[in-house]
Amino acid sequence: MKSKNVLVIGSSGGIGAACGSWLNQHGYRVYEFDRNEGYDATNPKDYKRVLAGVEYLDVLINAAGSVGMGGIEQCTIEEWHRILNDNLTSAFVACQSTLSLFNRGGSIILFSSVNGRHGGNALSGPAYAAAKAAIIGFARNLAKELAPRQIRVNVIAPGPVATSMLTRLPGEVIENLRATMPLRKIISPEEIAGTIGWLCSADANSITGAVIDINGGMWMG
């Protein structure tokens, strides 16, 4: 049995780093892709650089992304394009650029957000909500197309996670977010990684086109 190969985009911190660590500990060979290493998630050539010599992939995790702030009047066209590129275009390019390596089936996991489920607010801005909602439609389209090839495509939609995307906010704002969560707890990156590990396993072989909400009950739908 060949070992399983996984490409983690956004691997240097937060959720991406936790996913890479979990999968590495469970026997996966982890290939890292991160802007801090000079890679651009919207550039197909960079995927060829990272995966040069790799014969197959079993898992793709796109944890890359960025967030905005404010309302529509504060969102410039430059920020709109930047956030859609970082969150939505990166997912499209990642899937398209690696698809030929999924020659024995596999699992693709993309990231939405609770903001893509309930519309978000000024803490993350309109472009982020739009991009994260669009991820769900894109993933389901891809899940249908790739099902005959036994490639599953699913979405994780987290609520507030203890990463730099959250800790940039004032403590009072974080506590107000916690108060909106029935479980009253901020999510850890390791919780996300554990769920992804299960989603990559044989126990989830019949799950595709799903959105898994990990938000402490902040949004239920």
pLDDT tens string 29-77: 999 999 989 999 999 999 999 999 999 999 999 999 998 999 999 999 9
Mean pLDDT of 77-102: 97
Catalytic (active-site) positions: 128
Across the chain, mean pLDDT equals 93
Q: How large is the C-alpha radius of gyration of the chain? A: 17
Which pLDDT score, from 0 to 100, does residue 2 have? Answer: 63
Dihedral sign for Cα atoms in the order 16, 67, 46, 135: positive
Rounded distance, CA 32 to CA 114, Å?
A: 26
Rounded distance, CA 98 to CA 57, Å?
A: 8
Q: Name all domains of the chain by residue range, CATH numbers in brackets.
A: 4-214 (3.40.50.720)
Which pLDDT score, from 0 to 100, does residue 11 have? Answer: 87
Number of other CB atoms surrounding residue 4 within 10 Å: 19
Q: Give the residue among 3, 26, 2 at the shortest CA–CA distance from 196.
A: 26
- Using alpha carbons, list the distances in angstroms from residue 182 to 143, 158, 216, 218: 31, 14, 6, 7
Rounded distance, CA 146 to CA 208, Å?
A: 10
**Stronger pLDDT, 12 or 98, i.e. the higher one:** 98
Alpha-helix runs per DSSP H in 53-121: 77-84, 90-98, 114-118
pLDDT tens string 150-171: 999 999 999 988 877 777 778 8
Which pLDDT score, from 0 to 100, does residue 126 have? Answer: 97
Share of the chain above pLDDT 90, in %: 82
